[in-house]
Structure 1
Amino acid sequence: MKMVASDIDGTILGHDGAISPRTVEAFRACAAAGIEVVFVTGRPPRWLDPLREQLGHLGTVICSNGALVYDLGEEKILSTKCIPIPDLLAAREAIKVAVPSASFAAETVEGLYLEPGFLSAGDPEPLRQLPTRPLAESLKEECGVIKFLAKTEHSTADEFLAKVRPVVAPWLDATHSAPKTALLELSLRGVNKAATLSEFAASRGVQAAEVVAFGDMPNDVQMLSWSGRGYAMASGHPAAKDAANMLAPGIEDDGVAQVLERLLAVRGV
């Protein structure tokens, strides 16, 4: 074990927004043992405060499902893999034909662009304050779209994904990570957590067999399959469990901490 790669939401961060003290200590023990720790998340850089504030992590974070690599200590973008605006708009039209109730938003390096109808009554007030315009009007090529979002109120996330994935395949890859909302996350073809993690690991001289990864949702599938030890959370989505070669206890049982403590003990740490 030379590198630990972990998802955040549903894997180490609970619905209450807290990372348990046991999990914090396990990651700190890994770092003290010389094991590189990298977080691989669907979150954009502006939503990384739990890592900084609760874990004290100031290293690399792979954000937006692999589309952006961020240095948290320097608060600096290291690389991006952006969606061309024509591809995004073509995919939008294809989704609208397949699922007429779909609504859309785009995550860029600058912030979030929303179309009318995307927000729901329960969304946080800061989001509700954002202006809404058709993406064809608001997005310019220089915006740097790192994630395209599609949502519907009329199906489950898995059902929505099954309809959308084939129709966007010429331009984008689709996945999801929201357990209770039919919200899809679309990236440039070939961009996912595993693709960017493999590049990052190689830059550190680390092979897949030396990486231990943790995740819980469909957007973790490629990462869990690629890693030498891919642990799906027992509390996670069936697709994550099918992709992983290991199973960790659920987040409510500090599953990541349990696994890391055991692996560190084997190393004699």
Structure 2
Amino acid sequence: MKCHDALLQLDAARPDGSDWGDSEFDAAREHLDNCPECGQTVLQRRDWDLAFLKTAADTSDGTSVPPDGLTGRILSALDSHASPRPDAVVSEDGPAKHTAARHRLLKTAVVLVLLIGVGVAWRLSPESPGPLTVEQIRNWPDTRFETVDDDEALAALPEWLESQGDVPLPSSWDPSWLHRPARGWPDRDSVAVVAFRVPVARRGSIAGLLVAVPIEDVAESPAAGDLTSARPTYSKSGRFSTTAWTDTDSGTVFVCLVAPGQYERLRRALVPRPV
């Protein structure tokens, strides 16, 4: 087998040499045993390929934003492996004279491919949402719910995954008041939306929605307290009477929505009765 054919065949092997034992490379390996010059060329190419793979993996791992100096890092890593080994014997007529040209062409190609790939990932990656405001939370149900007991609209929301932990509730609330399984806020895994029914003695129950948001996800947290001390206000559509407060024990901001005229009934139902 000629030098050119052997090197061409070995170019199809994996950079780490894990498939060199395959029968298709037998003739090329036999040629390397009898041609030290080709052996040095193959080792140089393997070093170069492994350097590129390592740099690409280190650069792309855990990030979708192109880091500063990406091109320089790749070129630096490749250049450190591109120079001939000190013990290499370079012949004017041998295949090693093509190594420099091969490196230049491949270096340009792989850098362009990597930059394009990282750039596409950066463009397609969703921007992280900023903190919510209490006004956003108060008015958000206007776009999805006709009433506080709109079960169909609630079911259309994303699931609240058990892996996210228990559904956050105000410390004084009974979990049995939950009317439906908790749902999530679109694009925000940490926000829970709960439908509830608080029983009222001899008067049925009061239905409502409770939105629970981690305090760190709210731009300006409302005053600490509970529903009975919060000041009610209407949502933008006027369909909901809303209250907002911060539960310091759980580090959660709660926004409660009930039908107009129902806040006072709910407040009285939640006021502790003297024993």
TM bracket (short chain): under 0.3
Which fold has the larger relative contact order, with Cα–Cα distance below 8 Å and residues 6 or more apart in sequence? 1
Q: Rg bigger for which structure?
A: 2
TM-score scaled by length of structure 1: 0.23
Structure number having the greater helix percentage: 2
Structure number having the greater strand percentage: 1
